[in-house]
Amino acid sequence: MTLQSAQQLAAPYSSESKGLLVHLDHVDKIYPNGTVAVQNANLRAGEGEFLCFVGPSGCGKSTIFNMITGLTSHTAGELAVLGTTPREARKQNEIAFVFQEHTLLPWANLLENVTLPLKLRGVPQSVRKEEGERVLELVGLKEHMKVLPRQLSGGMKMRVSIARALISRPKLLLMDEPFGALDEITRQTLQDELLSIWQREKKMTVLFITHNVFEAVFLSTKVVVMTPRPGKIAQMIDIPVPFPRGEDFRTTPEFSDYVRAVSGALNH
């Protein structure tokens, strides 16, 4: 294994990671205080995949995301995003983020909020408005574009947050427990909406963190099961069920089987 990482170091971005949006190869993350947050993580996310990360609190899910976005750096192994370093990848404006909190600017209306990424890039006003209306339409909030975030419910705020992520037509969308704070009904509605947006975009790759096994199985093409202390990827479980997945998928025996498989992997 040491030999392999040495080879990887010699050729940092092998042709192998070219077609992949995210490629982790024997990645470790040890925080300065000694916490081993992630150990020996191997992961490949190709175009159009929907990966859900499940695992108990503290198993390193957010840490993996933070390494992919370049908020923190990995301490061993190889990590390529869009075929390059996280830092370079981010500059291509092909990556978008949704956090657990909606992170909307309270003083800016919905249109200004969703167009923030474009504004930071210096995109002209007319284009911003057009794109802003497009994504607000996608999440069903176009009529509310002049409204301030505090006038919205939690579910609507999360929709705005998703709209903001979609504005630059990202190739890679990272979502860290986006629906964690929502009630079950709103959560399911948003899951349906997210899936149909993802299907429309066709080529968009989504990485999605959740604590909820049902959510993971319902949404993903593949579930990444993680276990804590030290944070490890325990198992990958493919969910080869075709899309669109309607509400009825949640009640099929197939669905229960997958849920059982993921839960089993979690408890190992």
Ligand X SMILES: Nc1ncnc2c1ncn2[C@@H]1O[C@H](COP(=O)(O)OP(=O)(O)OP(=O)(O)O)[C@@H](O)[C@H]1O
Residue closer to ligand X (CB basis): 62 or 113: 62
Site for ligand X in 55-114 (CB under 6 A): 55, 57-63
Site for ligand X in 213-242 (CB under 6 A): 231
Site for other proteins in 10-69 (CB under 8 A): 69
- At 21, which helix (H) or strand (E)? strand 20-30
Stretch that binds other proteins, among 6-14, 37-45, 148-156, 227-235 (CB under 8 A): 148-156
**Torsion angle of the four alpha carbons 104, 146, 142, 130, in this order, in degrees rounded to the nearest 10:** -90
Residue closer to other proteins (CB basis): 117 or 231: 117
Distance CA 111, CA 115 (A): 6
Distance CA 112, CA 149 (A): 11
Shortest distance, CB of residue 61 to Mg ion, whole angstroms?
Answer: 5
State the residues that interact with Mg ion by CB under 5 A. Answer: 62
Distance CA 149, CA 207 (A): 26
Residue 194 to residues 159, 161, 162, 220: CA-CA distances in angstroms?
9, 12, 9, 11
Shortest distance, CB of residue 256 to ligand X, whole angstroms?
Answer: 24
Shortest distance, CB of residue 34 to ligand X, whole angstroms?
Answer: 8
Tokens coding 58: 């503290």
Interacting residue with ligand X among 2, 15, 33, 126 (CB under 6 A):
33
Tokens coding 248: 């009825």
Evaluate whether 172 touches 96 at the Cβ level (below 8 Å).
yes
Burial class (CB in 10 A: 0-12, 13-18, 19+), 48: middle
What does 99 interact with, of ligand X, other proteins, Mg ion, none (CB < 5 to 8 A by kind)?
Answer: other proteins
Residue closer to ligand X (CB basis): 60 or 170: 60
Interacting residue with ligand X among 37, 54, 118, 207 (CB under 6 A):
37
Interacting residue with other proteins among 94, 133, 192, 201 (CB under 8 A):
192
Distance CA 106, CA 178 (A): 18
Distance CA 240, CA 71 (A): 32
Interacting residues toward other proteins by CB under 8 A: 69, 71, 90-91, 93, 95, 97, 99, 101, 103, 105-107, 116-117, 119-121, 139-141, 143-144, 147-148, 150-153, 155-156, 159, 189, 192-193, 196, 200, 244
Task: Provide the binding-site residues for ligand X, judged by CB under 6 A.
Answer: 31, 33, 35, 37, 55, 57-63, 231
